Structure 1
Amino acid sequence: MTTGSGADRTLGARSASATLWGGVNMALGRIVQFATTIIVARMIAPEHFGALAVAIVVQTIATNMAELGATAALARGNGDPDRIGPTVFSISLVTSAVMTAGAVLLAPALAAAFDDPAATPVIQVLSLTILFQGIGAVPSTMVWREFLQKPRVVVDVGSVAVVLVLVVPMALDGWGAMALAWSRVGGQFFAMVGYWVITPRRYAPGFDRAVAKEVLRLGMPLAMANLVVFVTLNMDYLLIGRMLDPAALGLYLLAFNLAGLPSSVITAVIRATAVPTFGRLFAEGTLGELAGRFVAGVSYCAFPISAMIIALAEPLMVTAYGQTWAPAGIALATLGVFGAARILVELFADLSVGAGRTVWLFWVQVVWLVALTPALYFSIRWWGIAGAGVAHAAVACLIVIPTYVMVLASVLGVRAGELLRGSIAPLAAAMVAGFLARIATFSITDPVMALVLGCCLGGSAYALLTFRQGKVLLRTVRGLLRKGQPLPGNTPAMEGRP
């Protein structure tokens, strides 16, 4: 179970240590990013955030298609990077350049599709980040593959800090949405350079037809799945932009980002090590027996945070961004349910990639998109931006999660109930904690006081209800961090029993 970084370091120990540093990375990065959003939200009108939302949709879809999923072959940790790296770099470089040029040329048409012509220059500027990500794709993947999360902290936090340093003076000078776009370009450039500095190996462009066929066989279904999932997760922006107005889209963007904060942090921490770890465990034949414990551990950490967001949506929105953004509170409450579901969905996707089943992953995303599109249309038509959250939550909980569970049960050779059993206790405890927080703060008019009281009460209730599970989970993590301790094969640490 040892890897190339030293015979005395097991996969479990390396993975746990990297996950710890990934957590530090995400915590620092998100704190700076959240502070940046709070500052800018008080300087820029909601419609400017609406233009940024349009540009982010285009950028995100193009970025995740840019290297055609080729970096997945490096990330899984099974192939020889010296053989794969040059070809993957060439694919990433060419495709990201094509995507960048396409986004610049098609920006007017893309902005018109969202019924927001003001987004055209924002799309064109933000498209530069596609090229920078393509140039840094192989170095960042090598850092990921080799569990180098400690030096990655400097790069990622530095990138977010660059955004903050650039965006504030630009916003004060009246740049509007362009301040948001140019600052992100600066942050991405810093990240690109940083990954090239810390990567353990650097490769020049090269091309091997046999390698290209190999990596694209794995990567193309993943790239298509990424395309579908990002269309799915941004369909709400398209429909809100066309059915409502830019101000409503700006309100929804901040609500969606705030609701997704737990999922983005937790899944980013997991992804610091997930695919390389899952790939190795699948090759050893132990991923199936451990998958349910991963699900239980993630659920334990994620569900109470989402419960507090749902229960304290309005005071949270006002405290963070000011009274101007209070109308977004109703959307935040419904999106909080989706935030919790999305954490499980992202973990299931990583398990699928680790098992090498990217074709299955693609078809699950297709099912998701087909179900979500009409649900979003009618929900937005009936309930406005709050309806988008309702549609997301309903489709994720009733269709996407059950589909993933059936697929993974077949791929990993486990029963469906084993994957979800450990998440039942955290879910029940989080619901109780959220209910108590909501009842206790219902009549409090001061948003800060309501937020503090609700979090303290809800957090205490959750800790008491899940005390035994939390204690055993903590002991398991400490064991993994000790040198030489393997990943648990039969410990009940993540069983999820109260």
Structure 2
Amino acid sequence: MTTLNGQDPTLGNRAASATLWGGVNMALGRVVQFATTIIVARLMAPEHFGALAVAIVVQTVATNMAELGATASLARGTGDPDKIAPTVFSIALVTSGIMTASAIVLAPSLAAAFDDPAATPVIQVLSITILLQGIGAVPSTMVWREFLQKPRVVVDLCSLVTVLVLVVPMALDGWGAMALAWSRVGGQLVAMAGYWMITPKRYAPGFDRVAAVEILRLGMPLAMANLVVFVTLNVDYLLIGRMLDPTALGLYLLAFNLAGLPSSVITAVIRATAVPTFGRLYSEGTLGALASKFVTGVSYCAFPISAMVTALAHPLIVTAYGGAWAPAGIALATLGVFGATRILVELFADLSVGAGRTGWLFWVQVAWLATLTPALFLGITWWGIAGAGIAHAAVACLVVIPVYVTSLTSVLHTSAWKLLRGSIRPLVAASLAGAAAWLATQGMANPAMALAAGTLVGSVLYVLLTFRQGQQLVAEVRGLLRVKAGTPGPSIAGRPESAGQR
């Protein structure tokens, strides 16, 4: 059975349900994570967060190289998992083990590169999570592939609660950055066990040479692109650690994580279903007609949040973490702009993976890194941690987004105007709302009152300026829910804007 657009309604139903539960998962997860950060920030000094930042850089780069992008073939949902999952498991297990061992052995040198020797044991402990993620790579991908977001809520929430339960007594006992590292290991262990319990089918390691060739053909460019993008997103930590001091790095880490909170929530909700949905839509020939709708929806949600973070950076930092962290506010103000652009970049990358076009992603990331590194050096030299935020925002807006749009238009056979036109109104409205929120808080001495007043003013103005577009988006969501419930309504695709296929 298909809809009027020729799309399988089962995919729309499953994607809608998974997106709903993915949103619930992210909302609960971010609330717990935010609460944990607030508690820990009031128990630890900024330099402890600096040591954690160094360890996270190493862990992130190693994790995203560990399975060589092999899970992408499994996640797309277009192949037989019985044929490819055992080989994916073997690749992930071997490479994650090598990466874990390498991180442990090279930890002193890696910490020295950041000019923070205290980070050595933190890197070694946190590297355990690389192996745990490799062991759970196939189960977690199968949960993703089959849209099992409802049981995943329980797993992810248990993982986050484990982190909270472990980190607080350790921090009170004076463990410092090691409390942050060991609590993350505990949380990852719980997550790995949970995915093995809820996966629709369990696989043992195996190896098929033909499957391995196809897996690595798709996965290796993605792995290389991921390596470059995570180096890109962490080169600021390296430069700040070398050019400033651990306290500045800790302040910047807190600001970067807070600025990235909206983007992490929205992209995580999208990625709950994005790659498997985009992969199936591409196979059906409807992905090209839908890309602009995804861009519009993401922009509508992301831009106002980032505008509020930018406009209310100082009262937000002080209200959440206390006056000791106030110097991080200036970095948060500039990083808020980068948060919005990062959401679009993540969506563009998922569209490319869904279409099976991963090769050019690597070169996009190379261009990003090549332009960001000198920009960061100059920004940090001139303006300290605030300059790092300025560099991120400038490069993302002036280089990365244009390059992505140029590449995507050729892959999806559309124009830049069609792809981005739905995001123009949210961008203008969010900018005006942010300016109004900032003006409303000038002269207010109480940070909490300023945060509340600015949020209210900015939110109301944004809703008024985008009311008609918001109504249209709500109508489309209701249409999705009617289809999910089995009543007549538009398909998940809506009506294609043109007859062309992307």
Q: The TM-score by the shorter chain falls in which range?
A: over 0.9
After TM superposition, the structure 1 = structure 2 runs for residues 158-173 of structure 1, keeping only pairs within 5 Å, are 158-173=158-173
In structure 2, the partner of 1:487 is 492
Q: Shift of residue 251 of structure 1?
A: 0.1
Q: 2 CA distance for matches of 1:478 and 1:172?
A: 48
Please state how far the C-alpha of 1:17 moved relative to its aligned partner: 1.2
| 1:26 pairs with 2:26 | yes
- What is the SS of the residue equivalent to 1:10? helix
**Structure 2 CA distance, aligned partners of 1:8 and 1:245?**
55
The answer as to whether partners of 2:433 and 2:457 remain within 8 angstroms in 1 is: yes
Once the two structures are superposed, residues 272-301 of structure 1 have per-residue CA deviations (whole angstroms, 9 ceiling, x without a partner) of 000001111111111111101100000000
Q: Which residue does the alignment assign to 2:253? A: 253
Structure-to-structure mapping, 1:288-367, within 5 angstroms = 288-367=288-367
- Asked if 2 retains the 8 angstrom alpha-carbon contact of 1:306 and 1:339, the reply is yes
Give 3-state SS (helix, strand or coil) of 1:451's partner.
Answer: helix
Distance 2:493 2:130 in 1: 39
Kept after mapping to 1: 8 A contact 2:155/2:194? yes
- CA distance in 2 between counterparts of 1:9 and 1:154 reads 27
The AA in structure 1 aligned to 2:324 is: T
1:77-476 map, 5 Å = 77-476=77-476
Structure 1, residues 179-201: CA drift from partner, whole Å, max 9, x if none?
Answer: 00000000000000000000001
Counterpart residue type for residue 130 of structure 2:
I
Contact preservation (8 Å) 1:13, 1:486: no
RMSD: 1.3
Measure the CA separation in 2 of the matches of 1:217 and 1:371: 28
1:16 CA drift (Å): 1.4
The question of whether the paired residues in 2 share the 8 Å contact of 1:22 and 1:149 is answered with yes
Contact 1:379 1:390 in 2 (8 A): yes
Identity of aligned residues (%): 79
Aligned residue-pair number = 489
CA apart distance, 1:9: 5.1
Alpha carbons 1:11, 1:486 under 8 Å: kept: no
Q: In structure 1, give the amino acid aligned to 2:233.
A: L
Instruction: Report how far residue 8 of structure 1 moved.
Output: 8.7
Aligned with 1:202: secondary structure? Answer: coil
Displacement of 1:472 in angstroms is 1.4
Contact 1:331–1:388 (CA under 8 A) maintained in structure 2 = yes
Q: Unaligned regions of 5+ residues in structure 1, if any?
A: 493-498
* 1:370-398 Cα shifts (integer Å, max 9, x gaps): 01000001110000000000000000000
Conservation of the 8 A alpha-carbon contact between 1:480 and 1:487: yes
Distance of 2:22 and 2:379 partners within structure 1: 37
How many angstroms does 1:470 deviate by? 1.0
Pairing 1:67-86 to 2, within 5 Å after superposition: 67-86=67-86
Looking at structure 2, the residues matched to 205 and 347 of structure 1 have their Cα atoms a distance apart, in angstroms, of 32
Task: Determine if contact 1:279/1:355 at 8 Å carries over to the other structure.
Answer: yes
Aligned partners of 2:342, 2:252: CA distance in 1, in Å?
A: 17
Cα distance, 1:486 vs. partner? 2.3
Moved more, 8-17 or 420-429: 8-17
Who is 2:43 aligned against?
43
For 1:308, what is the secondary structure of its paired residue? helix
In 1: Cα distance, 2:11 partner to 2:364 partner: 29
Confirm or deny: 8 A CA contact 2:290 2:496 kept in the other structure: no
| Partner Cα separation in structure 1 for residue 332 and residue 30 of structure 2 | 18
Does structure 1 residue 63 correspond to structure 2 residue 63? Answer: yes
Farther-moved stretch of structure 1 (483-492 vs 426-435): 483-492
Measure the CA separation in 1 of the matches of 2:363 and 2:424: 27
| SS of structure 2 residue aligned to 1:99 | helix
Cα distance in 2 for partners of 1:13, 1:477 equals: 12
Residues 197-243 of structure 1 show CA distances to partners (whole Å, capped at 9, x for unaligned) of: 00001000000011100100000000000000000000000000000
Cα distance in 2 for residues equivalent to 1:239 and 1:333: 20
* Equivalent pair of 1:10/1:486 in contact (CA under 8 Å): no
Q: Please, what TM-score do these two structures have when normalized by structure 2?
A: 0.96
- For residues 398 and 255 of structure 1, the distance between their equivalents in structure 2, rounded to whole angstroms, comes to 22
Counterpart of 2:15 in structure 1 is 15
Q: Is the 8 A contact 2:289 2:496 kept in 1?
A: no
Which range is displaced more, 104-113 or 466-475?
466-475
CA distance in 1, matches of 2:481, 2:203: 32
Instruction: Describe the superposition over 1:22-51 as per-residue Cα deviations: whole angstroms up to 9, x where unpaired.
Output: 000000000000000000000000000000
Q: Hey, which bits of structure 1, 4+ residues long, moved more than 4 A?
A: none
Q: Could you tell me how far apart the structure 1 residues matched to 2:144 and 2:281 are?
A: 16
Question: How far apart in 2 are the matches of 1:481 and 1:366?
Answer: 41
CA–CA separation in structure 2 for the residues paired with 1:295 and 1:325: 35
For the 8 Å contact 2:306–2:339, the answer to whether it is kept is yes
Amino acid at match of 2:210: A
